[in-house]
Amino acid sequence: MAHFHEASKALNPVNMKLPENTVKGAVKLDPHINRYVDAVTPTGEVAPQLVTFDKDGDLSSFIGDLCDRLQLPKPSDQYALMFTNSSGEDTTVFMTNEKKKDVMQGFIIVLTAAPSRYAKVLLENLKNARYEIDQRNALQSMLKYAPDKAFAEPLHKDLDGIRALMDMIEKEKCSGRAVSMLLYCFMVLMEHSNLVGWNEVSDELVCRIASYVSGRSKHEDPATLSYSLSILDLLVCNGDRLLPLIKREVPFESLIRHLEKSDRNVQQNALALMNSLFTRADSTSKDSMAKLLHSTPVRMAIENTVLNPKTGAAVGASIMHQLGVLQRLLLNHLSIRANCKPVDGDIELLHELRKLTFESATQPLSPTQQRKATGRSATTSAAAKEFRKLGFSPDAPLETVQTTPPGLLAVDCMLFYARHHVDKLRNIILENSLQAEGHAWPFAVVCVQLVKELADILQIANPPLDVGETFLEMLFKTEHPFEDFFSISVSLFHKSWREMHASVGDISKAIAVARDQITRSLQAKPATLAAFDEELKKYTFPKIQQFWQRERKMREESELQAQPIIELRERLRGEIVTLVKANRLNAMKRGHVFAKVGKTKGAQQKGQQFWLWRLEPNEKTLQYMNCDEENDPTQIDANSSTMQKLAVRDIADVLTGRQCPHVQQAKANKKGSVPLAFSITTVNPSGSSEEFNFTVSDEKTYNDWVDGLQALLDRKMTSKEAKEETEALLSLEVKIRLLGLDGLPKIPNEGLSMPALPSDFDWVPVK
């Protein structure tokens, strides 16, 4: 048998785990490194080197050590490490000190030439290319590294490579498909910050790129057009100096034809450039642009080509976003009128509204009356009467539309409604005139509120979102989108007003109803205003009331699930349970006449007998006696000589359902539902026991007595009714308490943390 000696010292465990910023992997030599470093001539395939990489270490020293191991010619600064894209795409990234942290355990990186070497060779290849195929190959290689700033910096700073690309674009040194690749490579390199600013781009370059968009150049392929539009968009957004030149070389209306192209990238970039030009335009130019965009040819181009999936690929999220931005800019243009207060001269607009409504029923004003009526307070008596019917202040009509917003936008919308829907307007005025006092709605006042609500729904004056801007297709299919939207809303309000049987005091509520109807209908994303009008018919006032009640209930239920409310409920639960117990005991004190259950079959055959059971006011004794079924428990004298008593302390248990002896006896040979039965078992001082059996026909009496008996025995009430009543009373109590709090903030989901106790209580005053 072998003998082993124990070690004199305990062995310390060896930690095999690498330091946190140290990883292991492999480095392989680029087989094509000799294309960029002349002194390197690999012979055969070089085996990868297994290495340990310290992310906190010096990158230059690490590369130098690798060069020594692979016996590469010095200096080591002509080499670099390069990642290959893990997703399998043909893209590469040079390792820099900033990117060391991205190296993962088990890495495989490539030792290759420095980015400056790549930049020099690739730029020379591009400059020396004479044929289109050579140009495309050179640009293909450059595009592989152009997104990497480690490549772009030496290309520009050491070789002035970006300006070399600009020169090639200006002088059209590329041909065919190489033109689009050159534009794309230039755009990618320009996206790097701190290299070349967009304001540094030459006028000649802008004119050349603009020629691809305006049609003056022979290059009309989709890729060239798409990249040209994108570059011009970047110039508009980032180059103030070149903006006038771009506006001159690329008129806004010339971009419309590109929306009819089938290429989705062209459509998207054309929309993006249109949005940028609209954003940077002055107020006068925006007016003409908005008029052009609302015109039928433009709307048809967008509807039949951009929004039509049959003309090309499916409409992507990017195009929908650009359409949403364009729509947002057009709607925001209305904010100029919305923030403009009417002046005295605008009284003529209101007079036109009045005349259109009442068919010029009043006599024409004399020259003297016209001079007096130029102000906001002078009107004839007939005109004043008509203004009153329209809901304006009769003495000063302009005062009704002084609020900004909506300002003059409300006047424009009312006038549009009178011009295009005069019959509907007259019907509204006629119906209002036939209403009882206080039940007609003032047209002008309501229209001002409606325009304000619609502007808020459409978020007029809000800047466009960077991504995910909402596009309402129905507003692109009409020449006057906001005005038509308003016209539908007026008819909607009138319909809801009648359904509500509202009065003047209900205007705010009726406006809220109309807003909710509109908001819910927009969620269906109707394609046309006619479809939107049909969608509105689904949301009648009674339907909106149902929604509000359901949402209010859900909101209240959600609030009742907040942690602070749960804690409050638990604090109140004891009081509520006591109240429910008291209700049960009160029911027992009123008494009940039960059918008497015989202990034997013979006793049951003698005829049905009844007895009264009642709890005494002191809640310590139960009274019972034989009686007739018709007896009123409240009229039976408690001091009757036939009244017997059962002390609560003598009750041993309360049995229910199948546990009851009389139920077990009755169901011994039968199967069926369990009756509403319970039994009281007692233990006398002598040790003998007695049973009192009960069967009831209604569940409420059963629950009252079973819960009441459990309460008398200090047990938990088990009936479903008791639980529901407890929860209902708890919810009611919590709601009542919350109603008593003024300015209640939003209830947090998490409970408030209790602060720690102070270290001492010296600050507490001593009495």
Residue 670 belongs to a domain with what CATH number? 2.30.29.30
Same domain as 648, residue 531: no
Question: Given this model, what pLDDT does residue 430 score?
Answer: 92
What are the φ/ψ torsions at residue 119 (nearest 5 degrees)? -60, -45
Question: Given this model, what pLDDT does residue 748 score?
Answer: 64
276, 311, 332 - which closes a domain = 332
Per the CB < 8 A criterion, the answer to whether 499 and 492 are in contact is no
Mean pLDDT of 283-295: 90
- Checking if the pLDDT of 721 tops 50, the result is yes
Question: Given this model, what pLDDT does residue 14 score?
Answer: 59
| 51 domain residue, yes or no | no
The identity of residue 409, as a single letter, is L
- Checking if the pLDDT of 377 tops 50, the result is no
Same domain as 686, residue 719: yes
Same domain as 499, residue 411: yes
> Between these two residues, 43 and 111, which has the higher pLDDT value?
111
CA-angle at 388, arms to 387 and 391, nearest 5°: 90
Mean pLDDT of 475-492: 93
Cα 349 from chain centre: 41
Secondary structure letter of residue 714 according to DSSP: T
| 207 domain residue, yes or no | yes
Same domain as 382, residue 252: no
Same domain as 353, residue 490: yes
- Spatial distance between the Cα atoms of 202 and 152, rounded to a whole number of angstroms: 20
Distances (CA, A) of 153 to 77, 125, 747: 16, 18, 54
Mean pLDDT of 673-687: 79
Mean pLDDT of 5-23: 67
What are the φ/ψ torsions at residue 110 (nearest 5 degrees)? -110, 130
What is the β-pairing status of strands 676-683 and 651-656? Answer: antiparallel
> Between these two residues, 35 and 639, which has the higher pLDDT value?
35
**Phi and psi based region of residue 262 (left: phi greater than 0; alpha: psi -120 to 50; beta: remaining):** alpha
- The answer for residues whose C-beta is within 8 angstroms of residue 433's C-beta and 6 or more apart is 389, 440
Tell me: the pLDDT tens digits for 91-107?
678 988 888 888 888 88
Question: Given this model, what pLDDT does residue 697 score?
Answer: 85
Residue 485 three-state SS: helix
> Which range has the top average pLDDT, 128-142, 622-636, 727-741?
128-142
DSSP bridge pairs for 592 = 613
517, 551, 585 - which closes a domain = 551
500, 516, 551 - which closes a domain = 551
Per the CB < 8 A criterion, the answer to whether 443 and 390 are in contact is yes
- Checking if the pLDDT of 746 tops 70, the result is no
Least confident of 8-22, 54-68, 361-375, 579-593: 361-375
- Checking if the pLDDT of 1 tops 80, the result is no
Same domain as 464, residue 586: no
Tally of CA atoms within 13 A in the half-sphere of 258 that contains its CB: 31
Question: Given this model, what pLDDT does residue 362 score?
Answer: 44
Tell me: the pLDDT tens digits for 527-559?
999 999 999 999 999 999 999 999 888 887 777
Distances (CA, A) of 82 to 29, 49, 114, 192, 649: 10, 15, 9, 19, 90
Domain count, the chain: 3
Same domain as 440, residue 543: yes
Burial of 631 (0-12, 13-18, 19+ CB in 10 A): middle
| 183 domain residue, yes or no | no
Cβ-defined contacts of 751-757 (< 8 Å, 24+) = 751/563, 751/564, 751/566, 751/567, 752/564
Mean pLDDT of 704-732: 92
Least confident of 253-267, 301-315, 330-344: 301-315
89 — pLDDT class (breaks 50, 70, 90): low
Dihedral sign for Cα atoms in the order 112, 115, 116, 120: positive
To the nearest whole number, what is the mean pLDDT of the chain? 85
Least confident of 272-276, 416-420, 693-697: 693-697
Same domain as 604, residue 633: yes
| 20 domain residue, yes or no | no
Question: Given this model, what pLDDT does residue 411 score?
Answer: 94
Question: Given this model, what pLDDT does residue 379 score?
Answer: 54
Question: Given this model, what pLDDT does residue 210 score?
Answer: 94
| 173 domain residue, yes or no | no
Same domain as 375, residue 506: yes
| 108 domain residue, yes or no | no
- Checking if the pLDDT of 125 tops 60, the result is yes
Question: Given this model, what pLDDT does residue 568 score?
Answer: 87
Mean pLDDT of 31-59: 80
| 767 domain residue, yes or no | no
What are the φ/ψ torsions at residue 28 (nearest 5 degrees)? -120, 150
> Which range has the top average pLDDT, 44-48, 179-183, 605-609, 686-690?
179-183
Mean pLDDT of 14-18: 65
Tell me: the pLDDT tens digits for 241-282?
999 999 999 999 999 999 888 888 999 999 999 999 999 999
Least confident of 137-151, 179-193, 294-308, 495-509: 294-308
- Checking if the pLDDT of 196 tops 80, the result is yes
- Checking if the pLDDT of 153 tops 50, the result is yes
Distances (CA, A) of 630 to 371, 524, 626: 93, 64, 12
Question: Given this model, what pLDDT does residue 310 score?
Answer: 67
- Checking if the pLDDT of 7 tops 80, the result is no
Question: Given this model, what pLDDT does residue 371 score?
Answer: 45
- Spatial distance between the Cα atoms of 332 and 344, rounded to a whole number of angstroms: 26
- Spatial distance between the Cα atoms of 263 and 221, rounded to a whole number of angstroms: 10
CA-angle at 478, arms to 476 and 483, nearest 5°: 105
Domain with 414, as residue range(s), is: 336-362+370-551
Same domain as 346, residue 302: no
Hey, how many other C-beta atoms are within 10 angstroms of the C-beta on 353?
Answer: 25
- Spatial distance between the Cα atoms of 414 and 349, rounded to a whole number of angstroms: 10
Question: Given this model, what pLDDT does residue 741 score?
Answer: 65
Tell me: the pLDDT tens digits for 613-670?
999 999 999 999 988 888 888 777 767 778 899 999 989 999 988 888 888 877 655 5
Per the CB < 8 A criterion, the answer to whether 481 and 294 are in contact is yes
Question: Given this model, what pLDDT does residue 546 score?
Answer: 94
Same domain as 523, residue 380: yes
The whole-model pTM stands at 0.73
- Spatial distance between the Cα atoms of 397 and 337, rounded to a whole number of angstroms: 18
**Comparing C-alpha atoms, which of 209, 34, 231 is closest to residue 113?**
34
Same domain as 602, residue 580: yes
| 762 domain residue, yes or no | no
